[in-house]
Chains A and B, each alone.
Chain A
């Protein structure tokens, strides 16, 4: 910190979070003990949005498994029965392509957001940030704000300190366990999960409740920014998606520097000072503990809390807002107005991401909308290639796995075509229960001698007369020499 000859009157008196390195340099270890970060709570535009996102994401996460759809849970990835229910959809493991599509769409969305507006995901929606926010709020409620927490941690162990620490841990564990419980509730019916856990039945459910709970507790309570800085791969490759027109949290160096404390009544410009009063509030509120004034850093999660902090100070000082603001590198450099910045949003990179994303979304939705709620896998019988049966018929045997992806029992009609006189000799109609899949042995016959020896391509047509779906699958009919 720079010292001044006179003690300033209207400067918020807090020391810098990290000591300035000495000018001549020093020998340092390649390893470093973790420095605990005590983020100061702040209110403002971005802080409010962060809370909106916390509520939205957690309302969905904690609420969704409790909603019902007809007779079942609305969203349930039933691993035991290998059926995935999402609203009215019943998906089989064979529908894995939709998960692939969803993941590609998610990844592309992340690319698009990053190219346009930096790490919005990190700052506002990432579970790591959201749970850290919740855990820090609990910490704040019990132990007080930054200075109180610093004092508490430095103080000896009194009854009051033990009480506060214990209470905090207890609430953290409760939230973490509830999170683990909810998570498992996506994979087994959540309404039956509670009684099951209390009865200590279902070993893996118990394991995953505790495992996920422990992960939440550890990540949100202790690891926090360490996950973003050292573990998260996104932090590493996001720089590949940034360019000079990407919206990022920036410090306006030209306006702020040289920084320094000042007396509000004295004309600071005459003293050669910039707008930054070096109060370090922007550093204190940062959940990853960086100094935004050092420029764009990979640790920055783009949460905008430093913007809120700085704006508060600017208001108090009666300076214009936006010394730290959401802008682009070009925007700050060329002193662009907001509309000028927005004009640079539509770049080839953004347009290509958007086009691919829209194409994928439309493709996914069209595929889901036109999906036949029936799947058929055909396996020719493993042993009997073909056989001659009574009545001078040549017979081939197939096993059909018929998967009913509707939530009502269906009668399916089995027909085959592709050879003269080809007919189904076994049952032509089969009933399959709701969301059930069954293997059915099907026999096809042709009159003996009506087809040349060899293999013939035939088609199975499986139709559901009641619900109107139809599936055609190719197979082979063998005629012996």
Chain B
């Protein structure tokens, strides 16, 4: 509707609606005054196709009243709600207002449901069947898009069902991740490491840390270059959760495994982002969700 260029459509809709209603009223009034001739056999005297005659079957008067009520209701509705072009109606009802009211209502209805979990320890919330069901639904709607329905992630999206955590796996840390999001930043290190050959050697050394298939000669040559990595990943390569630096000694590779992937990572670096959820979810929802996610990797405790 081009309300903003001219008010033609508004006038058009208003006229069409009101004229239509008024026409119905006039038709009803005229038909009510009209009398027809009924002959002795209660037919109107019209005959078609030789022997087809029209019976006089008057409409019951209560039905006419239903029409009148409909017209009155229609006018009342148009006065109260927006139905006549740009006229907003006496109740000032809008779809946006309705949506906001419904959301506010839903929030107040949901609050008591979450109140129980607020006072519980996160570990206990994780094993609560009701919280588990709520958490599962929240996860499916907000997290499964990236981390998968089974929470096991994919390349670039961390597996939440294992015990390996980039930023720490306590309920408090998970909650923090959910609220504020995370940015994982691996800077390009090629310049610090040296020649492309050095980078390859370093890749093999990194692979050797987790006992993955590697060239041991190249690994021993690359060992000295690991100093550049140690600032974040630690001398032993076990990573640092305070920095979000991954553990390189386990067999879990978020951005791909093998020489090519690791070489690319050293050369190019990577910025990986987990978006903050604080604006989307309420505090109570984040609490339940954090407990649910914690429960995913602490299965024996969270046995359902």
Report which A residues bind B (CB closer than 8 A).
Answer: 21-34, 226, 230, 381-385, 387-390, 395, 397, 399, 426, 441, 443
Contacts and interface: CB of A to CB of B under 8 A. Distances in A.
Interface string B91-127: 0000000000000000000000000000000000000
B61 A441 contact: no
A397 B37 contact: no
Contact of B154 (A22, A383, A390): A383
A31 B58 contact: yes
Interface in B139-159: 144-150, 152-155, 157
Contact of A399 (B39, B149, B153): B149
B163 interface: no
B148 A384 contact: yes
Contacts of B41: 21
Interface residues of B, number: 35
A399 B139 CA distance: 14
Interface of B: 31-32, 34-42, 45, 56, 58-64, 144-150, 152-155, 157, 251-252, 257
B153 to A, nearest CB: 7
A24 B40 contact: yes
Contacts of A34: 60-62
24 contacts: A21-B39, A21-B41, A23-B40, A24-B40, A25-B39, A25-B40, A26-B37, A27-B35, A27-B36, A28-B35, A28-B56, A29-B58, A30-B36, A31-B32, A31-B60, A33-B60, A226-B60, A230-B63, A382-B144, A384-B157, A385-B154, A387-B152, A397-B149, A443-B152
Contacts of A230: 60, 63
Given A31-B58, A390-B252, 7 more contacts: A25-B45, A30-B36, A32-B58, A32-B60, A33-B60, A388-B257, A397-B149
Given A30-B34, A397-B150, A22 B40 contact: yes
A479 to B, nearest CB: 15
Taking chain B's interface residues, is the majority helix, strand, or loop, or is none over half, making it mixed? mixed
A230 B62 CA distance: 11
B58 A30 contact: yes
A120 B148 CA distance: 60
Central interface residue in A22, A31, A389, A443, by most chain B CB within 10 Å: A31
Contacts of A32: 58-61
A30 B32 contact: yes
B60 A21 contact: no
A30 B150 CA distance: 70
Nearest to A20: B40
A30 B63 CA distance: 12
Contacts of A25: 37-40, 45
A23 B39 CA distance: 7
B38 A441 contact: no
A23 B63 CA distance: 29
Contacts of B45: 25
B43 to A, nearest CB: 9
